[in-house]
Amino acid sequence: MENIPQTAFTWTSVGPSRNGHLGVTIMAPGAAIADVPTWCLKFKQQMNGTSMASPNAAGVVALILSKLKKDKISYSVPRIVRSIENTAKDVRGVVKPAQGQGLIQALSAYVVFLFFLRFRMMIHNTHTHTHTHTNRYEHVVENAESVTFGLRFRVSVSGGRGIYLREPHETEGVVTRQAHVSVVLPHDEKKSTHLKPEVSGWSVRLCATKKWIKCPTHLHAANHRGFQIRVDTDQLKSDALHCGEILGFDITATSDAGPLFRIPVTVVKPRRCDQNNEVFVDHGELRLSPGKLNRFYMSVPRGATWADLHVEAGEYVLLCSSVLN
All residues at 6 or more sequence positions from 142 whose CB lies less than 8 Å from its CB, including other chains:
253, 254
All residues at 6 or more sequence positions from 88 whose CB lies less than 8 Å from its CB, including other chains:
26, 27, 100, 101, 102, 103, 104, 105
All residues at 6 or more sequence positions from 206 whose CB lies less than 8 Å from its CB, including other chains:
215, 216, 217, 218, 219, 227, 246, 247, 248, 249
Give the strand pairing for 240-250 and 261-269.
antiparallel
pLDDT confidence of residue 201: 60
Is it the case that residue 96 has pLDDT exceeding 60?
yes
Q: How confident is the model at residue 196 (pLDDT cuts 50, 70, 90)?
A: low
Q: What is the mean pLDDT of residues 142-159?
A: 73
Q: Which amino acid is at 211?
A: K
Is it the case that residue 99 has pLDDT exceeding 90?
yes
Q: Which amino acid is at 147?
A: V
Whole-number Å distance between alpha carbons of 87 and 110: 9
Whole-number Å distance between alpha carbons of 85 and 102: 8
Q: What is the DSSP letter of 74?
A: -
Is it the case that residue 122 has pLDDT exceeding 90?
no
Q: How confident is the model at residue 144 (pLDDT cuts 50, 70, 90)?
A: very low
Whole-number Å distance between alpha carbons of 207 and 318: 47
Between 267 and 128, name the one with better pLDDT: 267
Is it the case that residue 298 has pLDDT exceeding 90?
no
Kindly report the average pLDDT of the chain as a whole number. 81
Closest CA to 137 of 171, 182, 107, 98: 107
Model pLDDT for residues 23-76, shown as the tens digit of each residue:
999 999 988 777 677 777 777 778 888 888 898 999 999 999 999 899 888 888
This prediction has a pTM of 0.83
Q: What is the mean pLDDT of residues 176-193?
A: 74
pLDDT confidence of residue 130: 45
Model pLDDT for residues 199-226, shown as the tens digit of each residue:
556 788 999 999 999 999 998 876 667 8
Q: Which amino acid is at 132?
A: T
- Give the architecture (CATH level 2) of 160-270: Sandwich (2.60)
The C-alpha R_g of the chain, in whole angstroms, comes to 23
Q: Would you call 157 helix, strand, or coil by DSSP?
A: strand
Report phi then psi at 253, rounded to 5. -115, 165
